[in-house]
Chain A
Amino acid sequence: MKINDVILQTITKVVVFIILTFGVELFFAGHNSPGGGFIGGLVLSSAFVLLFLVHDIETVQQGIPVDFKKVAATGVLFAVGTGVFAVLFGSAFLTQTFLTVNLPVYGETELATVLLFELGVALTVVGTVVTIILSISEDV
């Protein structure tokens, strides 16, 4: 018998975008309010887990043709790369810096290199969590 869960799939099409938006919002919450790379990555990965739950693995990987192990490796490369980049300029490992610029819409904004480090952390968390979920829930 072909199982048909229309309600769940229709709800998921809306809810996944809400979760992804909330994850990006948490990622940009920065270092002054709750949020950051790790929590943003966890929320983003919960959106992917919801997709994998509602559809099956092959359908999702047709839509998102990404190997999540490579996503985790890219994240580690970003995070370590910001540390090594500071060493090249003679500072200590993982030294971060920032500059204040005047953007047209946002006004005075603080651009920090912590954002790149946090991007690495978020990519690592997404890749690791999705890989763990897919590994332990594989049907035999």
Chain B
Amino acid sequence: MIKAMLVTSIILISIAILIAVLRIVLGPSLPDRVLALDVIGVNIIASIAVISVLMNTRAFLEAILILGILSFIGTIAYSKYILRGVVVERKRNR
């Protein structure tokens, strides 16, 4: 019973990732694509958690943490690029 539920949730998460990929390809503006990338990151983290429950192991928890960190930094970098045009500034107050 619980296994069928977990497999169903993985399938649904995969469909969500596919829809987000569609948004990246079709997306009219740059913020749409950035938001879709963030959605993909969150969905990948959720699917890793479901898989680690399914396989009854704790080996993937560090992968979840690393993916969370990288997704966070990537979203910040894209947002800063949209907002200011540069990613790493030499001097602020402009």
Contacts and interface: CB of A to CB of B under 8 A. Distances in A.
A139 B62 CA distance: 34
Helix, strand, loop or mixed for chain B's interface? helix
Interface of B: 59, 62-63, 65-66, 69-70, 72-73, 76-77, 80, 83-84, 86-94
B83 to A, nearest CB: 8
A138 interface: yes
Contacts of B66: 39, 43
A40 to B, nearest CB: 11
B69 A46 contact: yes
Interface in A54-81: 54-59
Contact of B88 (A2, A46, A139): A139
B88 A53 contact: yes
A38 to B, nearest CB: 12
A33 to B, nearest CB: 8
B62 A56 contact: no
Given A34-B59, A43-B66, A56 B91 contact: yes
Interface centre among B76, B88, B92 (most CB of A within 10 A): B88
Contacts of B90: 56-58, 138-139
Interface residues of A, number: 27
Interface of A: 2-3, 8, 15, 19, 22, 26, 34-35, 39, 43, 46, 49-50, 52-59, 133-134, 137-139
Given A3-B84, A8-B76, A58 B65 contact: no
A56 B80 CA distance: 12
B76 A139 contact: no
Contacts of A26: 62
